[in-house]
Chains A and B, each alone.
Chain A
Amino acid sequence: EAEVAQSPRYKITEKSQAVAFWCDPISGHATLYWYRQILGQGPELLVQFQDESVVDDSQLPKDRFSAERLKGVDSTLKIQPAELGDSAMYLCASSSRSNTGELFFGEGSRLTVL
């Protein structure tokens, strides 16, 4: 069964360090999303890509977060410098071009900032 792959599953870092997360969507899915989920909360969108273009990054804290999807396939989300409040689950999801809201999520990357 096709899956969204994410790595690393867990990351512990100290504040002010740089962190990067990687996502490989389901093959053929044109749309890719990065969500942040704080414990006990629902996922909140950080950035949406359609192929290699950013569709929505209005909620991405651009002073420290960056995201890219250079060839329209896999994607990287970077945080630099990490802050204590960034501790959360970072979820990647993908959907087909004809998507009407059905997302397929990866297992997530759990970040702890000390």
Chain B
Amino acid sequence: QKEVEQDPGPLSVPEGAIVSLNCTYSNSAFQYFMWYRQYSRKGPELLMYTYSSGNKEDGRFTAQVDKSSKYISLFIRDSQPSDSATYLCAMSEPGGSYIPTFGRGTSLIVHP
């Protein structure tokens, strides 16, 4: 079993829908949680960053961490065709080198 599990999709939604993307993990030492967005043939770009449990909101994006369930989510409100991309979750432990472990990514398609 991989440390970070993420459904690859694809997830296809109509424009304006609320999107929910999720990851589960097995390493209880993870404290830092990130979401990266990767457009086709491009490098990942950091979208959201949270520490420990709780919610964080940035515009149309909300990141949620539930450490008790080892489950993280990214919500996208009022989804747009420009949100079509692969969304990678990543997480890291405190101390040491903080090297993030990535999920395999979920492909999101928002159609007009």
- A and B co-occur in one complex: yes
Q: Which residues of A contact B (CB under 8 A)?
A: 4, 6, 31, 33, 40-45, 48, 50, 55-56, 91, 93, 99-108, 110
Q: How far is the CA of A99 from the CA of B100 in the complex (A)?
A: 11
* Chain B: interface residue total (CB-CB under 8 A): 27
Q: Min CB distance, A3 to chain B, in Å? A: 10
What's the Cα separation between A106 and B44 when bound, in Å? 8
Complex CA distance for A33 and B100, rounded to whole angstroms: 11
B99/A45 in contact, CB under 8 A: yes
CB of A101 to closest CB in B, whole Å: 4
Beyond A40-B8, A102-B34, whether A91 also contacts B44 by CB under 8 A is yes
Are A48 and B97 closer than 8 Å at their CB atoms? Answer: yes
Contact status A100-B92, CB under 8 Å: yes
Are A91 and B43 in contact, CB atoms less than 8 angstroms apart?
A: yes
Residue of chain B at shortest CB distance from A109: B43
**Quick check: A105 and B43 within 8 Å, CB to CB?**
yes
Chain B residues proximal to chain A, CB less than 8 Å: 4, 6, 8, 32, 34, 36, 41-46, 49, 51, 88, 90-92, 94, 97-100, 102-105
List the B residue with the shortest CB-CB distance to A44: B102
* CA gap between A102 and B45 in the complex, in Å: 10
Q: How far is the CB of A4 from chain B (nearest CB, A)?
A: 8
Q: State the Cβ distance, A24 to closest chain B Cβ, in Å.
A: 14
Q: Are A41 and B104 in contact (CB under 8 A)?
A: yes
Q: List 12 A-B contacts (CB under 8 A).
A: A43-B44, A43-B88, A43-B102, A50-B97, A55-B97, A56-B99, A101-B92, A106-B43, A107-B42, A108-B42, A108-B43, A110-B41
Q: Tell me which of B43, B44, B98, B104 contacts A100 (CB under 8 A).
A: B98
| A6 surroundings in chain B (CB, below 8 A) | 43
| New contact pairs (17) apart from A105-B43, A108-B43, CB-CB < 8 Å | A42-B4, A42-B102, A42-B105, A45-B99, A48-B97, A99-B98, A101-B32, A101-B90, A101-B91, A101-B100, A102-B49, A105-B36, A105-B44, A105-B45, A106-B43, A107-B43, A110-B41
